[in-house]
Structure 1
Amino acid sequence: MKINLKIGLIITALVVVAGCSDLIDPAVENIQSKDNIRERPGMIQGLLLNAYLRIPTNGYSFSEMATDDAVSNDLDNGFLNIATGQWASNNNPLDRWSSANSAIQYLNEMLVEVGNTEYASNPRVNQMFMDRLTGETYGLRALFMYYLLQAHGGISEGELLGVPIFLEPQTVDSDFNIPRATFAECMAQIYSDIEKAMDLLPMDYYNISDASLMPSRYREAGTQLSEYNRVFGDDAKQLVSGRIVRAIRAQVALLAASPSFNLDGDQSKWTDAATYAGNLLNTIGGVSGLDPNGVTWYNNTSVIDGLGAGNNPPEILWRGSIGGPSNNLESRNFPPTLYGDGLVNPTQNLVDAFPMANGYPISDPASGYSDDAPYANRDRRLAQFIILNGSTAGPTGTTINTALDSDTNDGLNKVETSTRTGYYMRKLLRQDVNLDPVANTGQRHIQPRIRYTEIFLIYAEAANEAWGPMASGSFGFSAYDVIKAIRERAGIGTDNGDTYLESIKSDQEAMRELIRNERRLELSFEGFRFWDLRRWGLDLTETAQGIRIENGDDFSIIDVENRVYQDYMIYGPVPYSERLKFSALQQNRGW
């Protein structure tokens, strides 16, 4: 991909960093030379900001609408189109090639320029700024390489390939026509960047009060507490830290260990993923560190509204900016009665994945499930995450009737903004948002980039594959322990000791299925399901189903949307436009 890096193209982003009215002196065409930029630390840091702004988890994609978990009621939605047979290398809403490679270009430029600028007149402080900025840059480069592998890694001509590796900024004279590196080479580069980042970054950013907490290299240089805190203190919270980089390493290792990317079944890769996740979890006390309120992290209103600058609730490891009150999520996803567009419609497939409150899958004869009362005695996460027929929602507790014979527009297929499945999404939405045009109010929202529950689930999946359900390696907790804690937090099995979990705790295959299902539920609507199905190599073609309710108690399952995927689509394509430009780029098989 050819990137023309003219510094003038990023000036808009840089203004956010500098915030000065005299940021840019008059110049020909208002384009700054590198010499001028090097004199302005804020502008150099804008290279880094550009990468932060491109992180995919800055917002929700709702790629679940391309899976068995949800459909869209917007018939022009890109995920609906690819799920129904229109996914192609020149029509790919999941493409990350351009954005991630652009971020890497800026990061490579940052690595060149970071040492050419003075950030503080004090040489000790200046060195710490250079260390932090360099560490952030390496951490972000690893993150974007991970996103590239996730979206574009795949098999070409019998070999598992990644993407081209660029470690220096490209210019108009660079050779862009280079082949893709192997997946293993890309992984080695990610791990190298992560090691460099961890060497430079503190575990967390906070103001320290004891010099013994300072890294020895700074303490021995005579650095004062105030100087250290200026660079690595509270003001740096939410920038890439050692903790965040360790979480990225766990994510990357899980991808590499997964069946679609671990073609030789190398068990050591599962051990790596479990070890990286386990080491990170031990910093919060292992299983005891699981946030008891983590299920409803998105709607813990008093916590979110009272959150101080840069701080995280216990469930959130890394987040984006909270910002001011908004109602965008609710406007897109509230039912029509609440003045919303009802965009994301959960499927019956997902509803059926929630167990009974006693812990048994609804298909198990011991579950007590009844077709005549499908929502009775269910896992309470079902009603927390999904608006069911008869649920109340919104600031005034409006009853939502999703039945075919509903007398409101919330009913099945009533209008364009109605549900197509008989369900609306509740998760992520604040019920105290009011979209009434007469009394419109927004609320603060927290946007996680990484949650601790994800790290717990990474550990559970990897530990089960590496050591089995009950073994704990060197960490003192097992895959079983993690899943038991997650299910207890959800209220499952409180009356019977979760006898279903106890019955399978020595069965690796059954535990694998349970872990995958818990991941499906806990991370629902957060952009995981599509990538998970593909890395597991599972069927993408399960028909999305819904429910038709009439006369109050007449329930029937309906097919809503066929899923049209080919087997090769467990790997995404290299963009068609890139292959037109660069003949050395190999395409993944089938595309």
Structure 2
Amino acid sequence: MKQSLTKLYTLFFRQHIERALLCLLLLQLAGCKKFLDVVPDNVATIDNAFTMRAEAQKYLFTCYSYLPYSSDIGANPALAAGDEFWMVRPYSTSETPWQIAQGFLSANNIYMSQWGVNFRALRDCNIFLDNINKVVDMRQAEKDRWIAEVKFLKAYYHWLLVRMYGPVPIIDHNLPIATSAEAAKVPRVHVDAVFNYISSLLDTAAAGLPEIIADRSTELGRITRPIALAIKARVLVTAASPLYNGNPDYNGFKNYDGTPLFNASYDAGKWKKAAEACKAAIDACEKNGMVLYTFAQLGVTLSDTLTRQMSIRNSTCEEWNPEIIWNNPNSTTYDLQRQALPRLDPARIGNESPVGAFAPTMKIAEQFYSDKGVPINEDITWDYNNRYKLRTATKAEGELILEGYTTAAAHFNREPRFYADLAFDGAMWMMQKKTFHIECKAGQIQTRKNIYDNNVTGYFAKKLINWKDEIQEGQGLYIESYSWPEIRLADLYLLYTEALNELGGPQPEAFKYIDRVRARAGIPGVQTAWSNYSRNPAKFTTKEGFRQIIQQERLIELAMEGARFWDLRRWKRSMEELNKSVTGWDVDQSDPVFYYRIRTLFRQTFQVRNYLWPLDSWDLLNNPKLVQNYGW
């Protein structure tokens, strides 16, 4: 049943809290048994939930249990509701995100709404904070840590709301049960007030959080100070970005009482706060030993090329590696990998578990740089106009493309992240026990096998696949699931670079951090690459030019991790990118001449109103103080 904010408040002190299902997130934890390993033995009540530490801990885990299922294609719009991946009907995943991608979101069909669940989460966080000091068998230091964790979660759930809906009500406390129906109708507040509240709450939380998880066997996934500071950096960069900072589209967007919900003028000071937050987060992460990941597994000796590949791939797929700031324990990747993984092994082609239908689009393949570290349409050494012509791989290219195989010229002389993140017709795919090659023209190994297993673009998301996955003899598909990386150090470096450029233009400190990411990727630094190989060698010398470089660097480094969906929105570039055709190779053809033709799969449409989700008419009806988002 749909619930309005009014209903949420009137149900505030209902005796029985339906928490058992929420605490099942422990079942989704990957590999080792982490901290959410306590299931309530009955349905707790408010009266007894805070009498003893063991019961209070169950409520703490309930507050954690609302963390989003970020790796779930059917739950996270950032994966499949944009332009990064494509599938065709009948979908082997939830159909919901594809409805958004195809422009069918409306005020009457609000797909993937997070409104209700996050307000329920905030209610439970407030209950916890109101009652935790009643527990008698706990040390105050432990109570303080739990309080800090829940304050972080409270800030985070507000963040998820503001990112999706813009101005939202601030739920700083639960209303008393005696509150009148009229007083319970809480309005939205100015978007800057929401961001400031989140930032302040994260500061408060960070002060009480541990620097690291000391007991990794039972507590991995719980919040630390570096996590809180990194999320604060992300929040403040978003607040400073064009969607929220002086956006003229929202000049007439007002609250129920006529007060503005957005600032009409741009505020450069927001970028100063964002840059300071990014630097504080970086310092905290590096102080605690976080570094950009480099592959170095005991007993495994690889060439420089393959070591680079595995460094890039495993920066995402190796759980709790030194680059990961926060792995979300509520979101593991078994099904995501199954959807993205093709049938690699020709000896076990009949296994039905790998699907390989979650297909990156052509625009994602083309956004990766050339091997000189600049966009392919800028590289003076790269034949952009003939990129769809055929070319045969030589022995020198054999670690990346099958020797003697004919594929598109677009697949040659690309940066290492292209080969680490994507697979294509002719690509090599290294796994822990064996290296395979991809053949996906009609009738070949990785082509359509039944109505569901249809990769529609000719590209596979290698980046999402753990290198330990395999089809085991007599046992079917084994997937090394990992918790979803909500934020890693490379993301934070690029946020800092962006904030510095917006604050003061190109500067040495900004080049320093973007070049760290590029060095791990195996490409020259920005100044070297553009000066020597770009048709626009001075591009990095202006704020506008460097902004384009930074944005493309983010789109490449964080490709297929859910960042693109929200970055395009905060940059106000969705109107540009999501009004283009979704394209891929002509995958139903067997002849290379015909296979390597661009095929249009869908023509997307995006309107200004789509930058923010609509509010449900049920909530608007029950709470007249809520106003609908712009354009809906």
Change (3 A) 1:467 1:291: farther
Aligned match of 1:113: 131
Change (3 A) 1:359 1:301: closer
- By how many angstroms is 1:462 displaced? 0.9
Deviations 1:266-291 (A, max 9, x none): 11111111111112213455999433
Whether the 8 Å contact between 2:515 and 2:525 is mirrored in structure 1 is: no
Distance 1:170 1:409 in 2: 57
Aligned match of 2:506: 469
Q: Secondary structure at the match of 2:480?
A: coil
Deviates more, 1:338-347 or 1:561-570: 338-347
Aligned match of 2:50: 38
Whether the 8 Å contact between 2:456 and 2:584 is mirrored in structure 1 is: yes
Whether the 8 Å contact between 1:400 and 1:410 is mirrored in structure 2 is: no
Aligned match of 2:236: 253
Note if 1:575 corresponds to 2:616. Answer: yes
- By how many angstroms is 1:495 displaced? 13
Whether the 8 Å contact between 1:352 and 1:362 is mirrored in structure 2 is: yes
Distance 1:198 1:318 in 2: 14
Note if 1:178 corresponds to 2:186. Answer: yes
Whether the 8 Å contact between 2:317 and 2:482 is mirrored in structure 1 is: no
Aligned match of 2:165: 152
Q: TM-score, normalised by structure 2?
A: 0.76
Q: Secondary structure at the match of 1:544?
A: strand
Whether the 8 Å contact between 1:85 and 1:564 is mirrored in structure 2 is: yes
Whether the 8 Å contact between 2:291 and 2:323 is mirrored in structure 1 is: no
Change (3 A) 1:485 1:146: same
Distance 1:510 1:353 in 2: 16
Distance 1:509 1:146 in 2: 28
Note if 1:134 corresponds to 2:147. Answer: yes
Number of aligned residues: 532
Deviates more, 1:128-137 or 1:283-292: 283-292
Distance 1:571 1:303 in 2: 31
Whether the 8 Å contact between 2:169 and 2:187 is mirrored in structure 1 is: yes
- By how many angstroms is 1:408 displaced? 4.2
Aligned match of 1:457: 494
Aligned match of 1:9: 18
Aligned match of 2:554: 519
Distance 2:267 2:527 in 1: 38
Distance 1:345 1:451 in 2: 24
Deviations 1:168-207 (A, max 9, x none): 2246654432211111221222122122212322333438
Aligned match of 1:378: 414
Aligned match of 1:330: 337
Deviations 1:499-544 (A, max 9, x none): 3587433122121111111111111111121111111111221211
Deviates more, 1:107-116 or 1:75-84: 75-84
Change (3 A) 1:483 1:38: closer
State the one-letter code of the partner of 2:497: A
Distance 1:545 1:58 in 2: 25
- By how many angstroms is 1:389 displaced? 0.8
Note if 1:202 corresponds to 2:210. Answer: yes
Aligned match of 1:214: none
Q: Secondary structure at the match of 2:143?
A: helix
Note if 1:99 corresponds to 2:117. Answer: yes
Deviations 1:146-173 (A, max 9, x none): 11000011xxxxxxxx111122224665
Aligned match of 1:163: 168
* Structure 1, unaligned runs of 5 or more: 25-30, 121-125, 154-161, 208-232, 472-477
Q: Secondary structure at the match of 2:201?
A: helix
Q: Secondary structure at the match of 1:176?
A: coil
Change (3 A) 1:133 1:459: same
Deviations 1:352-408 (A, max 9, x none): 1011001221112504134221111101211211111112446654432223x4434
Note if 1:363 corresponds to 2:397. Answer: no
Distance 1:92 1:242 in 2: 35
Deviations 1:429-486 (A, max 9, x none): 1243224683322324242122111111111111111111215xxxxxx222222221
Aligned match of 2:292: 290
Change (3 A) 1:22 1:381: closer
Distance 1:350 1:519 in 2: 12
Distance 2:185 2:624 in 1: 7
Q: Secondary structure at the match of 1:448?
A: strand
Change (3 A) 1:297 1:92: farther
From 445, 456, 460, the counterpart of 2:482: 445
Aligned match of 2:274: 273
State the one-letter code of the partner of 1:534: R
Q: TM-score, normalised by structure 1?
A: 0.81
State the one-letter code of the partner of 1:382: F
Aligned match of 2:364: 350
Whether the 8 Å contact between 1:295 and 1:522 is mirrored in structure 2 is: no
State the one-letter code of the partner of 1:70: F
Distance 1:436 1:418 in 2: 23
Aligned match of 1:419: 455
Change (3 A) 1:51 1:59: farther
Distance 1:105 1:297 in 2: 41
Change (3 A) 1:59 1:187: same
- By how many angstroms is 1:244 displaced? 1.3
Deviations 1:16-39 (A, max 9, x none): 789789955xxxxxx654332222
Q: Secondary structure at the match of 2:62?
A: helix
- By how many angstroms is 1:250 displaced? 0.3
Deviations 1:45-103 (A, max 9, x none): 33321221221255343634332322123445222211212111343334211111111
Whether the 8 Å contact between 1:82 and 1:92 is mirrored in structure 2 is: no
Distance 1:552 1:132 in 2: 60
Q: Secondary structure at the match of 1:505?
A: helix
Q: Secondary structure at the match of 2:498?
A: helix
Q: Secondary structure at the match of 1:319?
A: strand
Deviates more, 1:142-151 or 1:181-190: 181-190
Aligned match of 2:591: 551
From 56, 63, 78, the counterpart of 1:63: 78
Aligned match of 1:562: 603
Whether the 8 Å contact between 1:298 and 1:430 is mirrored in structure 2 is: no
Whether the 8 Å contact between 1:108 and 1:168 is mirrored in structure 2 is: yes
Change (3 A) 1:378 1:414: farther
Deviations 1:185-241 (A, max 9, x none): 21222122122212322333438xxxxxxxxxxxxxxxxxxxxxxxxx986453222
Amino-acid identity (%): 23
Whether the 8 Å contact between 1:387 and 1:426 is mirrored in structure 2 is: yes
* Structure 2, unaligned runs of 5 or more: 27-34, 247-264, 296-307, 344-348, 390-408
From 577, 580, 597, the counterpart of 1:542: 580
Distance 2:518 2:38 in 1: 51
Distance 1:295 1:95 in 2: 37
Distance 1:241 1:317 in 2: 9
Whether the 8 Å contact between 1:255 and 1:261 is mirrored in structure 2 is: yes
Aligned match of 2:96: 78
Deviations 1:98-143 (A, max 9, x none): 11111111100011001111233xxxxx110121111111111111
Distance 2:174 2:376 in 1: 55
Whether the 8 Å contact between 2:331 and 2:484 is mirrored in structure 1 is: no
Whether the 8 Å contact between 2:423 and 2:461 is mirrored in structure 1 is: yes
State the one-letter code of the partner of 1:290: L
Deviates more, 1:371-380 or 1:168-177: 168-177
Whether the 8 Å contact between 2:68 and 2:331 is mirrored in structure 1 is: no
Whether the 8 Å contact between 2:370 and 2:379 is mirrored in structure 1 is: no
Distance 1:258 1:45 in 2: 38
